[in-house]
Amino acid sequence: MTSLPRIVITGVGLTSPNGNDLPEFRQNLLDGVSGVEAYNIRHIGDTVAGVCHFEATRYQKRREVRRGTRAGSISVYCAQESLKDAGLELEALDKSRVGTYIGITEHGNVETENEVHEVSGYDYDLSFWSHHHNPRTVANNPAGEVTLNLGLTGPAYCLGGACAAGNLGLIQGAQMLQLGEVDIALAGGVSESIHTFGIFASFASQGALASHTDPTKASRPFDKARNGIVVSEGGCLYTLERLDDALSRGAKIYGELVGHAVNSDASDFVLPNPTRQAECVRAGIAKAGLTPADIDIVNTHATSTELGDLQECEAVRAVFNGTSKAHINNTKSYIGHTMGAAGALELAGNLGSFDDGIVHPTINIDELDEGCAHPGLVINEPLQTQGVDTILNLSFGMLGINSVVIIRRYS
């Protein structure tokens, strides 16, 4: 049986609430810098959120930003930055062989809410409804805006995977490379969630919207006083290539995607199922040809909700108890929940561990919830290790979707 081509990461482009490129993002994670801030949105009022402060007009004209979507601008920024980081020149590429695979939680709510708000000022006269509404709200919009901006003619679409979507984008990109459908994959996830009041309202009605007098302390996974999710925007797109192609052009390699898995709980709309989560983790590890004892970092999905964190910790214990090597951390404690971007962004924040051996901590833990305790949990201060070779990234989502991606140091 012919083995599948090996897939590696050669470029990273991102924007997050606490950094607009990988070096800045990584340093802020090591320095304990939160990107959560006070935020006001109509019908909700004052709350907290993770807001990105990237320069949208770096790669788009102002009229393109106005015509398109926030998710599209995030995607364009991340795609351009990723290709640049990979050392790839657009003019030298066969643009029909570049695929774009972007995970999203949802798309179109922001634009629809904005249009309803606008026409309300005209007594709901729909002749004032924007003719840009349809292209703004189709589910493939973020990927489509990337192709328009970069002139890419290869396959481009979005994958709806709730808050597991960032991992799904990566998995899809890797599979398309292995099938030979493309030669370069721009893959990951994006979210513009903070621009829709509906998401805030839904979490609030569920009793799951975070609040704190200090916005930087609002996102506190595993802490006994945690009280909900911090809604955030962000994006991260990776440049993925087949290993042989990357080596032939002398590309730098961040790591190799060696394992992944996706499954479903089939048990509840929102409450996670730790048994199914553990099954997904074990499947990803097995696909990578590894064991739990081989994993150095487990980056958790934990969103700072009481039950969600407990369920995930149960799943992690089921797989990693007795494995002292695995260090466990969480990136949402710095940036909140970037929804469709979460898996991709949170993985990116850990890639630097391959070089410096440092595990960034989970911050904002004043009193650890006993139900979230684990001997490998890295709390409040970075941990210097003797070396990191494998990173396992967990991302879960509503309606019971679970995903795992495993990256190994390339050597």
User: What pLDDT shows up at residue 322?
Assistant: 77
Q: Which whole number is the average pLDDT over 82-86?
A: 98
Average pLDDT over every residue of 313-337: 94
Using alpha carbons, select from 171, 158, 403 the residue that is nearest to residue 264.
Answer: 403
Average pLDDT over residues 27-56: 98
User: For the chain, what percentages of helix, strand and coil (3-state, to nearest 5) are there?
Assistant: 40, 25, 35
Q: What is the pLDDT of residue 323?
A: 78
Average pLDDT over residues 385-409: 98
Neighbouring-strand partners of residue 395: 403
Residue 37 parent element (H or E) = strand 36-41
Q: How many CA atoms lie within 13 A of 403 on its CB side?
A: 26
pLDDT in tens, 5-32: 999 999 999 999 999 999 999 999 999 9
Tens-digit pLDDT profile for residues 254-295: 999 999 999 999 999 999 999 999 999 999 999 999 999 999
- At 1 the pLDDT is 52
- For 242-280, b/e burial (b = at least 16 CB within 10 A) is bbeebeeeebebbbbbbbbbbbebeeeeeebbbebbbbb
Q: Whats the size of the chain, residue-wise?
A: 411
Question: Average per-residue pLDDT in the chain?
Answer: 97
- Which domains, from first to last, does the chain contain? 7-248 (3.40.47.10), 259-406 (3.40.47.10)
Nearest to 29 by CA among 355, 267, 353: 353
pLDDT of 324 above 80 = no
Can you count the helices (H) and strands (E) in the chain?
Answer: 14, 14
Mean per-residue pLDDT, 195-220: 97
How does pLDDT run across 170-184, given as a tens digit for each residue? 999 999 999 999 999
Token digits of residue 300: 């958790």
